[in-house]
Amino acid sequence: MSIEDIRAEVCDLHRHLTRWGLVTWTAGNVSARVPGKDLLVIKPSGVEYDSLTAKSMVVCDLDGNLVDGEHSPSSDTASHAYVYRHMPEVNGVVHTHSPYATAWAARGEPIPCSITAMADEFGGDIPIGPFALIGSDDIGRGIVETLRGSRSPAVLMRQHGPFTIGPTAKAAVKAAVMCEDVARTLHLARQLGPVDRLPATAVDSLFDRYQNVYGQPLMEGQ
Amino acid sequence: MSIEDIRAEVCDLHRHLTRWGLVTWTAGNVSARVPGKDLLVIKPSGVEYDSLTAKSMVVCDLDGNLVDGEHSPSSDTASHAYVYRHMPEVNGVVHTHSPYATAWAARGEPIPCSITAMADEFGGDIPIGPFALIGSDDIGRGIVETLRGSRSPAVLMRQHGPFTIGPTAKAAVKAAVMCEDVARTLHLARQLGPVDRLPATAVDSLFDRYQNVYGQPLMEGQ
Amino acid sequence: MSIEDIRAEVCDLHRHLTRWGLVTWTAGNVSARVPGKDLLVIKPSGVEYDSLTAKSMVVCDLDGNLVDGEHSPSSDTASHAYVYRHMPEVNGVVHTHSPYATAWAARGEPIPCSITAMADEFGGDIPIGPFALIGSDDIGRGIVETLRGSRSPAVLMRQHGPFTIGPTAKAAVKAAVMCEDVARTLHLARQLGPVDRLPATAVDSLFDRYQNVYGQPLMEGQ
Amino acid sequence: MSIEDIRAEVCDLHRHLTRWGLVTWTAGNVSARVPGKDLLVIKPSGVEYDSLTAKSMVVCDLDGNLVDGEHSPSSDTASHAYVYRHMPEVNGVVHTHSPYATAWAARGEPIPCSITAMADEFGGDIPIGPFALIGSDDIGRGIVETLRGSRSPAVLMRQHGPFTIGPTAKAAVKAAVMCEDVARTLHLARQLGPVDRLPATAVDSLFDRYQNVYGQPLMEGQ
């Protein structure tokens, strides 16, 4: 894929953030690694979703410096770049302030793995990452330290919101969408009483099956 | 109806799942029995709703084996097939992870029949089915054992989500839509205080009237 | 207005019920009195909102008997008709199972007049009407007994849902929309703590101003 | 910009109120100061959002008197005018009854600054203003007394709803959208447990960065 193709793909993936209600105004961003190069493509900072075009996507190096683009990159670029530098298996990163996931993040409470859809996608609880201020490597380091070795592609950064990762940008987008979905369902469940976590053996069985059997052979983004 | 007609109908019915907010990403599925044959038509696995076409619908036998189709069938096909094998009066099955219904399922709490709309459609509480793992007949058996002899066309499989059945695929879709609707209303009601169940005589009267008088004569899907 | 004009208007008003999320599947209905005649126009029973046409609207007399139409009238026709017989100032009636209003109805708890928007439109609490079964005059009588002499154009029929009335069908639709809006806001407010009712003098002042000053001179439906 | 340009801009900005779910029926309004003149442009009273046109926007002086327009101005015009008279740095004002923000207003409880997105936009808690009746300067005075010297562009008028201000009308619209967003997220967070406020030093750091670094150079409405 050329950088122009990746720009088009990253631009297009942002429609899922609005489609599934994950973002408000200009918040949130999707990025993709440029295969074989120390580059990433990311949303410009503070541009409304309806105005995004492939051309407006910004190319940065993996230190977060602008390489090509007419706009300033997302203010979260340094955090995305840190993830790409330290997790070579990650090719897509998504950040939102989706309301239910951010509510769990605000309390600093992991989402308990209590329903089969959550075991399928996350293989366990969705963990809490540390509180970190923008403007240094602290957010990126918190994401990497929380997700390295975890089966969950999502971390809820404390008093901030979810970051998700994936082997493709689309997989990271899917993780962001499903993170909000299970955050909402477990929020609703917990409002009226306690919920039990699924047994570990059931979680393992569901996660293995979903990752290996679900979907179509060679389907993009799964 | 030819199998191609049924494929078109099953494909089209999926739009109700997105229209009424019952599904996220690729989760959820509708199936229909092929009249007079030991076959069913069901959604392909892991395909996005916007990409569904009549042709992409999959034909399986009632053991869940692929008979015709370009895609792998839904990973829930075995559960649908079990229902068709054991409940000859059922011609449609729907499965979703709709958020309010799944929240009741996560707690393992039946939805109490407390409002007239619920008596109309469900004739009583919406019951909880057992926890069961995908990959055997356990989910199908749990659905059938819970719904056989019940007036409710919906069961909330514990820590999983709702399955609905109907004499037509459209009726099963309607039951899925109404299940989420009453799950939401009773969730909201219960958040601020207790709710009483309706008296059994009132439930019987409402259910009888709705099933026999409501709607138009010979209307499709009612 | 001819009956055909009223059919077109009643059909068109139903789009507000879907636009504002008041109805699910085929539930809910709008009716209008035919000026100068003992007739009403109402939605057909069990027809989906996307399929409504002016021609499919049903004309009934004020005992709820079918006078003209290709479909059976709404199963709530007798209740609408009772209201028109007993409240000559009412020219429109709306019924929904909108989720927040129905949640208050399920608990049998009036919505307390605690915010200015509610004083504007309802002039006080939204009251609870009796539990009544469909199939006799009980629902209509419950609506009339609760709303006669009340400033509120909305009543929450216990364990059933809201009915609203108005000097025009559009005003009744507006009342249904605003009823759900304030039911939601007060639900949210009450979830995190108590709310005070507004002082009676403030309610009177707001109601008087809104009914007499708000909007445009001679605006339709206000 | 000519007054006709401002009319077109104010009309267009109202679409954000419907897009983000801040308004119901005809409630809510946006105004803009006419640069260099003692005039403002505001929504007409009680007109539905789908019917708004640039031409239907109303021009008033800063005492709230009609100067030019075919309709009566919003019943909140006097409050907007009071803000423009007393806060020369304000060029846009927005008022809604958005549900989550109004729920905090109904309880008279400030929204605690507990997540980074709130520190970014509001620089602290969103404060509560006094209860005030429409029809005098009381609402305008309450807004000005609460927001003068505050970093927050939003105030929750007690038992009424949010008013937001900005250096441009679009900035005030953005503040209204973000106010509802954080009101919702903190509502959800608080439903399941306590949330801590961010430390004051973190709030200061986030606010400074967001106001000075976020977005594009010279971007409109930021």
- C24 contacts B114? CB cut-off 8 A: no
Residue of A177, A185, A214 with shortest CB distance to B45: A214
pLDDT for residue C218: 53
The 3 state secondary structure assigned to chain A is: CCHHHHHHHHHHHHHHHHHCCCCCCCCCEEEEEECCCCEEEECECCCCHHHCCHHHCEEEECCCCEEECCCCECCCHHHHHHHHHHCCCCCEEEECCCHHHHHHHHHCCCECCCCHHHHHHHCCCECEECCCCCCCCHHHHHHHHHHCCCCCCEEEECCCEEEEEECCHHHHHHHHHHHHHHHHHHHHHHHCCCCCCCCHHHHHHHHHHHHHCCCCCCCCCC
**3-class SS at C50?**
helix
D175-203 pLDDT per residue, tens? 999 999 999 999 999 999 999 999 999 99
pLDDT for residue D220: 41
pLDDT at C66 over 90: yes
pLDDT for residue C18: 97
pLDDT for residue C221: 40
Q: What is the mean pLDDT of chain A?
A: 95
Interface with chain B: mutation pick from C19, C48, C49, C107, highest number of B CBs within 10 Å: C107
List chain B residues with CB under 8 Å of A164: none
Work out the average pLDDT over B58-83. 97
pLDDT for residue B220: 41
pLDDT at D221 over 80: no
Work out the average pLDDT over B188-213. 95
pLDDT for residue D216: 78
pLDDT at A156 over 80: yes
A62-97 pLDDT per residue, tens? 999 999 999 999 999 999 999 999 999 999 999 999
Residue of C44, C106, C107 with shortest CB distance to B216: C44
pLDDT for residue D222: 38
Tell whether B111 is within 8 A of chain C (Cβ): no
List chain D residues with CB under 8 Å of A104: 189
Residues 6+ apart with CB under 8 A from C208: none
- B191 contacts A216? CB cut-off 8 A: no
What are chain D's partners, defined as 3 or more CB pairs within 8 angstroms?
A: A, C
A91-126 pLDDT per residue, tens? 999 999 999 999 999 999 999 999 999 999 999 999
User: ipTM value of the model?
Assistant: 0.95
pLDDT for residue B218: 52
Tell whether C100 is within 8 A of chain B (Cβ): yes
For residue B222, name the pLDDT band (cuts at 50, 70, 90). Answer: very low
In chain D, % of residues over pLDDT 70: 98
- A190 contacts D216? CB cut-off 8 A: no
Residue of C185, C202, C215 with shortest CB distance to D45: C215
